[in-house]
Amino acid sequence: TADRDVAAATVVAIRGLAAVGHTVKMLSEGKFIGIPEMKESPLL
């Protein structure tokens, strides 16, 4: 089961890095413009 555990950990790490990379890419492309607008919302 050691190999299986290592493989699972590797997959999790790769998915985590991919998610972080995707978030950074979206931030760099300016797709999080909605966040400042939400802060200025009267509902908050």
Structure tokens at 25: 């890419």
Spatial contact of 32 and 26, defined as CB atoms under 8 Å apart: yes
DSSP character at residue 31: T
Measure the CA–CA gap between 43 and 41, rounded to whole angstroms. 5
Q: What is the mean pLDDT of residues 1-29?
A: 86
Q: What is the pLDDT of residue 37?
A: 55
Token pair 């300016």 in the structure block, residue:
30
- pTM for this one? 0.50
pLDDT digits (tens, 9 = 90+) for 19-42: 888 888 877 776 655 555 555 555
Structure tokens at 22: 């995707």
